[in-house]
Amino acid sequence: MEKYTIYHNPRCRKSREALQFLKETDHEGEEVRYLETPFTKELLQKILNQIELQPSAVLRKNESEWKNIPNRTSLHEDEILNCLVKYPKLIERPIVIIGNKGVLARPLENLILFLKGN
């Protein structure tokens, strides 16, 4: 079984649930607390490619950091990606990567289905 990498915020209940599920199902891997170890633009783009989502699909639009961006409704995907790198709190979590594939594990059912396919 390949090891996972979970991009995780321990203050987030959904993120904690996904990590707990991985541990309870005897998966081994690495926990990356992305608020403490921020993404580079290149790494975040790679992860988005692995989960097959655009930056706008993982954007937490209710966060104040997003609401404070004056031209936010007219940003292109690359500009949104830059915002996610600058303000990692805007990234929906958790994200789980196994091998070259991954999933936005919110809700937890996404992770369960992903693991069945791996």
Radius of gyration of the chain (CA): 14
Distance of CA 61 to the CA centre of its chain: 14
Please name the residue that has the structure tokens 């992770």: 111
State phi, psi for 72 to the nearest 5 degrees: -60, -30
Cα–Cα nearest to 40, from 82, 101, 94: 82
> How far apart (Å, rounded) are the C-alpha atoms in residues 91 and 50?
15
Catalytic residue among 4, 7, 12, 107: 12
Whether 12 is catalytic is: yes
- Which active-site residues does the annotation give? 12
